[in-house]
Amino acid sequence: MPSGTRIVEFDRPDMAVGTHTVAEAWARVNPPLSPQEREFQKDRVRRLLKSRNAALVAHYYVDADIQDLAEETGGCVSDSLEMARFGRDHAADTLVVSGVRFMGETAKILSPEKRILMPDLDATCSLDLGCDPVAFAAFRAQHPDRTVVVYANTSAAVKAQADWMVTSSIGLDIVAELHRQGQKILWAPDRHLGSYIQRETGADMVLWQGSCTVHDEFKGIELDLMRKEHPGALVLVHPESPASVVAQADVVGSTSRLLAAVTESPATTFIVATDQGLLHKMRLAAPGKTFIAAPTAGESATCKSCAHCPWMAMNSLKGVADALEFGTNEIRLDPALGRQAKVCIDRMLDFAAARRRDTRPGPDLAREQALFSGIGPA
Ligand code: 13P
Ligand code: SF4
């Protein structure tokens, strides 16, 4: 472990209320709705989105009905980078952000004039919980010579201390560029994503030792066995997963990147190492193909492949409709903190916009093209 790093747990027993453990979050997840109740709540959401001039911005891990409604009503369902960009650029007065707390906060930071509502403000993230802003400030003070790069999955108070914010879809490119410029990096909070970027770029990085409680569960040995059972399958891995899992991936990337791979690749079977919420969109995008959830435990376990984020699962159809109807669960941020946190997010969005304008295929794209035409690594 690099010097100056510390182990942090995602549970925050010091915080008296809320859903700071996986068990507390699961206890808050609503039971499935009856077919009639589902239709009733969907109609409420459709009607209220219109009457409140609101847009629904959802992450791929939330309830399939919420994802479908977001798309049907002209909102968006996407990864966290696109959620931020879409929310910022949309003309609606109100955004309902269905995802976890940092996604709502990012929307508010980027659009302070908009009303940002969430189905449940207690829907958080183990990475955010594991990166206390005061402890992070002390960590930063130990490394004053380093450029501070934080993952999107952090609080506004941590972002306000950063030079750059990145998401999983752009983190590698940004750190590669900073490394090319000779900068040394302080990275927080996800240790797996940080060490993946470190291995890929060769950058000098010190890492905060947080983790995603969902992706951290994927097991390299079990995945190896699963791959042997499905020799033709393409392995898709989110980089919040442990190194032993990433090492077996054919494609490593953000949720959007993994979704794109199922249509771009000629493969017909995919082993997917990310939250199972993404399988909904994958099945819609490639209906004839087979998707197998990567293993989080061995054969004898009660649940062999059970990667699902409890905080994402707290997002319910009724929660979306109630937030719209009653204006509850509004994100409120100290404007000065928001302005400070915005600096690192704007930098990332500007970098991403410049990258999109540059259409030259880079080495990664060339490697993936080779893979998809069947001549990449097995
Ligand atoms: P993406 O930006 O890849 O959608 O990831 C967000 C997240 O929380 C993954 O666990
Ligand atoms: Fe956070 Fe992991 Fe849930 Fe994503 S899946 S929101 S990283 S706990």
How far, in Å, CA of 214 to CA of 333, rounded?
28
Helix (H) or strand (E) holding 311: helix 310-313
Q: How many whole angstroms from 51 Cα to the centroid of ligand 1?
A: 31
For ligand 1, atom 2, which residue shows the shortest CA distance?
80
Q: Distances from the Cα of 211 to the Cαs of 83, 208, 357, in angstroms?
A: 22, 9, 33
Kindly list the strands in the beta sheet with 251-252, ordered across the sheet, starting from the edge strand earlier in the chain: 251-252, 234-237, 269-273, 290-293
By CB neighbour count within 10 A (0-12 exposed, 13-18 middle, 19+ buried), where does 191 fall? buried
How far, in Å, CA of 217 to CA of 220, rounded?
10
How far, in Å, CA of 278 to CA of 283, rounded?
9
Closest CA to 191 of 204, 208, 176: 208
How far, in Å, CA of 80 to CA of 127, rounded?
14
Atom number of ligand 2 nearest to Cα 125: 1
> What's the pLDDT score for residue 18?
64
Atom number of ligand 1 nearest to Cα 238: 3
> What's the pLDDT score for residue 261?
98
Ligand 1 neighbour 168 (Cβ under 6 A): yes
Q: How many whole angstroms from 81 Cα to the centroid of ligand 1?
A: 9
Given a contact cutoff of 8 angstroms between Cβ atoms, the answer to whether 189 and 210 are in contact is yes
For ligand 2, pick from 126, 129, 131, 190 the residue to mutate: most ligand atoms within 8 Å of CB. Answer: 126
Q: How many whole angstroms from 259 Cα to the centroid of ligand 1?
A: 12
> What's the pLDDT score for residue 116?
97
How far, in Å, CA of 274 to CA of 80, rounded?
14
pTM metric for this prediction = 0.90
What token pair was written down for 285?
Answer: 């995008």
> What's the pLDDT score for residue 297?
85
> What's the pLDDT score for residue 364?
52
Q: How many whole angstroms from 17 Cα to the centroid of ligand 2?
A: 20
How far, in Å, CA of 90 to CA of 54, rounded?
10
Q: Which fold has domain 131-213+335-371?
A: Rossmann fold (3.40.50)
Ligand 1 neighbour 255 (Cβ under 6 A): yes
Question: Does 33-125+311-326 match 215-302 in CATH topology?
Answer: yes
For ligand 2, atom 3, which residue shows the shortest CA distance?
309
Tokens 């990667």 found at:
307
> What's the pLDDT score for residue 305?
75
> What's the pLDDT score for residue 4?
38
CATH code of domain 33-125+311-326: 3.40.50.10800
Q: Cβ atoms within 10 A of the Cβ of 288, count?
A: 6
How far, in Å, CA of 119 to CA of 121, rounded?
7
For ligand 1, atom 8, which residue shows the shortest CA distance?
153
Given a contact cutoff of 8 angstroms between Cβ atoms, the answer to whether 125 and 103 are in contact is no
Where are the chain's structural domains?
33-125+311-326, 131-213+335-371, 215-302
How far, in Å, CA of 170 to CA of 283, rounded?
25
Ligand 1 neighbour 153 (Cβ under 6 A): yes
What token pair was written down for 90?
Answer: 């949309």
How far, in Å, CA of 227 to CA of 188, rounded?
31
* pLDDT values of the chain reduced to their tens digit, one per residue, 378 residues: 444 344 444 444 444 446 778 888 888 898 889 999 999 999 999 999 999 999 999 999 999 999 999 999 999 999 998 999 999 999 999 999 999 999 999 999 999 999 999 999 999 999 999 999 999 999 999 999 999 999 999 999 999 999 999 999 999 999 999 999 999 999 999 999 999 999 999 999 999 999 999 999 999 999 999 999 999 999 999 999 999 999 999 999 999 999 999 999 999 999 999 999 999 999 999 999 999 999 998 777 777 778 999 999 999 999 999 999 999 999 999 999 999 999 999 999 999 999 888 745 544 544 444 433 332 222
> What's the pLDDT score for residue 23?
86
Q: Which residues form ligand 2's pocket by a CB distance below 6 Å?
A: 100, 125-127, 153, 212-215, 240, 275, 309, 311-312
Q: Which fold has domain 215-302?
A: Rossmann fold (3.40.50)
Apex 237 CA angle, 180 and 294, nearest 5:
160
* HEC sequence for 69-109: HHHHCCCEEECHHHHHHHHHHCCCCEEEEECCHHHHHHHHH
